[in-house]
């Protein structure tokens, strides 16, 4: 049964905040809607943070033609929601997530534990809308649809059921990751996916080194902070501190600032990211939000004591036009114009690492095409990142 409009808006706002709290969505990724009649639904607006969303920010959209009321722009995926309501009269609440486990399993494009997968289409395109609609129509009894290279669509008769579907989907996909880990290594738990990957693809590396974090101060200088709290103000041209002797990692930060118009750099060595860096291979995006936010690819570069100056130069070059670069055996260096952007890069990088490990271990490696990931990266850097 459709919701009364004020109740619908309150529940959509509540769902957005709860999804962020549970980690099923982050930043402004994904969208939530509720049916208010046979002809309309309310949906989250485009590019608004869920934590600060209010009922007045939601948009009323027509199911038939996706026309909407007011000056606030609705989510660009409003058509996907409209089709769900049009094709499924039993559905009154829809959640589109970029949840980690479901996203990580999405690139191989086959059913997971009976859950259907919609063919790929770039975000906000008619191709994506048609692919998801076809999957919804072909599976009238399913409440979850995995969207290839993208995320998931969770349907419910009400708020509680849609949220329950999203949580159960994540658990089911987590079990699939665990099954693969068990088959590959004998270990129990999806948390050991990185160990399964390392056993097959990692190469010997040195000890993990503190590569620090930094912020750009001027066109000529940056501040480098190490994990022990030591701080150095360094010259971008030379990579050397203005006072005293600094760590060799300063050369990397200087090289990145010379090649990229970013304000912040931070080493990220979470276990999945570290595992990918040990493989020493270029990452080719399997998830479209990674292609948008990190780059058309993320290269892996060496870092050796005997050649650190030339290695730093190569790392700097590899960062050009991208917001991450892998350093062999050292995780990644992520970049951004704001700390908020930097954290977004880390989130999609970790999720992409899970997707790549799952695909390679499943012998079903299926990255995005160079055309798709280039178009998405260009659109993101020219439009969405500037809006943010």
In terms of domains, do 12 and 63 share one?
yes
Question: 164 and 269, same structural domain?
Answer: no
Predicted local distance difference test score (pLDDT) of residue 1: 79
155 belongs to a structural domain: yes
Over the stretch 286-325, which tens digit does the pLDDT of each residue have?
999 999 999 999 999 999 989 999 999 999 999 999 999 9
Task: Report the alpha-carbon distance of residue 100 to residue 33 in Å, rounded.
Answer: 21
Q: Is residue 387 predicted with pLDDT exceeding 70?
A: no
Residue 39: what pLDDT?
97
Q: How confident is the model at residue 21 (pLDDT cuts 50, 70, 90)?
A: confident
Instruction: Determine the structural domain holding residue 123 and report its residue range.
Output: 5-185
Segment (H or E) for 41 = strand 40-43
Same domain? 380 vs 288: yes
Assess if residue 148 is contained within a domain: yes
Q: What does DSSP assign to residue 383?
A: I
Whether residues 272 and 358 fall in one domain: yes
* 361 belongs to a structural domain: yes
Regarding whether 232 and 162 lie in a shared domain, the answer is no
Question: What percent of the chain lies above the pLDDT cut of 90?
Answer: 88
As a whole number, mean pLDDT of residues 337-358 equals: 95
Q: Are 139 and 263 members of one domain?
A: no
Number of domains in the chain: 2
**Rounded to whole angstroms, how far apart are CA atoms 152 and 154?**
6
CA dist 295 and 349 (Å) reads 10
According to the model, what pLDDT value does residue 388 have? 47
Give me the mean pLDDT over the 172-187 stretch.
Answer: 94
Query: Does one domain contain both 43 and 86?
Result: yes
Among 185, 204, 237, which residue terminates a domain? 185
Provide φ and ψ at 63, rounded to 5°: -70, -40
CATH number at residue 44: 3.40.225.10
Tens digit of each residue's pLDDT (9 = 90 or more) over 184-235? 999 999 999 999 999 999 998 889 999 999 999 999 999 999 999 999 999 9
Collect all residues with Cβ–Cβ distance below 8 Å to 133 and sequence separation of at least 6.
Answer: 80, 83, 87
> Six-digit token pair at 323?
């917001």
8 A C-beta contact, residue 331 and residue 270: yes
Per residue in 82-129, pLDDT (tens digit) is 999 999 999 999 999 999 999 999 999 889 889 999 999 999 999 999
Q: pLDDT value at position 384? A: 56
- Same domain? For 243 and 374 the reply is yes
- Does residue 147 fall inside a structural domain? yes
Q: In 162-320, where do the E strands start and end?
A: 213-216, 221-225, 231-235, 264-268, 300-301
Please report the pLDDT score of residue 28 as a whole number: 62
Does residue 200 lie in a domain region?
no
Same domain, 124 and 247: no
Cα(176)–Cα(281) distance, integer angstroms: 25
Structure tokens at 277: 């860096």
- Which residues are within 8 A (CB) of 207 and not within 5 positions of it... i.e. 6 or more apart? none
User: Taking residues 6-33, what's their average pLDDT?
Assistant: 88
On whether both 245 and 145 belong to a single domain, the answer is no
Q: What is the pLDDT of residue 24?
A: 81
């070059």: which residue's tokens? Answer: 317
Q: Residue 261: is its pLDDT beyond 50?
A: yes
Query: How many residues are recorded in the chain?
Result: 388
Asked whether residue 20 falls in the same domain as residue 167, the answer is yes
Same-domain check for residues 144 and 258: no
């Amino acid at each position: 049964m459709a919701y009364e409009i004020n109740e619908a808006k309150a529940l959509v706002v509540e769902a957005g905040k709860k999804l962020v709290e549970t980690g099923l969505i982050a930043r402004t990724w994904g969208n939530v809607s509720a049916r208010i009649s046979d002809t309309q639904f309310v949906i989250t607006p485009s590019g608004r943070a869920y934590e600060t969303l209010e009922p007045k920010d939601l948009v009323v959209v027509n199911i038939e033609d996706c026309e909407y009321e007011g000056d606030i722009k609705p989510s660009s995926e409003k058509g996907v929601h409209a089709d769900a309501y049009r094709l499924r009269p039993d559905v009154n609440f829809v959640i589109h997530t970029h949840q980690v486990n479901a996203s990580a399993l999405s690139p191989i494009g086959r059913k997971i534990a009976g859950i259907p997968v919609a063919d790929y289409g770039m975000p906000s395109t008619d191709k994506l809308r048609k692919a998801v609609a076809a999957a919804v129509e072909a599976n009238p009894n399913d409440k979850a649809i995995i969207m290839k290279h993208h995320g998931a669509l969770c349907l419910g008769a009400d708020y509680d059921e849609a949220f329950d579907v999203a949580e159960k989907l994540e658990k089911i996909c987590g079990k699939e990751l665990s099954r693969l880990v068990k088959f590959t290594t004998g270990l129990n738990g999806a948390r050991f996916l990185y160990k399964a990957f390392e056993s097959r693809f990692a190469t010997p590396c040195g000890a993990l080194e503190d590569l620090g974090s930094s912020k750009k101060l001027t066109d000529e200088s940056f501040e480098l902070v190490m994990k022990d709290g030591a701080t150095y103000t360094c010259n971008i041209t030379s990579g050397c501190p203005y006072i005293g002797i600094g760590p060799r990692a300063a050369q990397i930060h200087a090289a990145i600032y010379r090649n990229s118009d970013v304000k912040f750099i931070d080493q990220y060595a979470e276990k999945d990211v570290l595992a990918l860096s040990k493989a020493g291979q270029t990452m080719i995006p399997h998830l479209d939000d990674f292609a948008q936010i990190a780059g058309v690819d993320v290269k892996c570069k060496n870092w050796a004591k005997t050649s650190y100056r030339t290695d730093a130069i190569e790392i700097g070059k590899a960062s050009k036009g991208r917001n991450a670069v892998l350093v062999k055996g050292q995780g990644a260096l992520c970049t951004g114009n704001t700390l908020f952007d930097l954290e977004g890069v880390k989130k999609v990088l970790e999720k992409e690492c899970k997707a790549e490990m799952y695909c390679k271990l499943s012998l079903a490696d299926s990255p995005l095409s160079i055309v798709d990931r280039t178009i998405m990266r260009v659109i993101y850097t020219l439009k969405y990142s500037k809006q943010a």
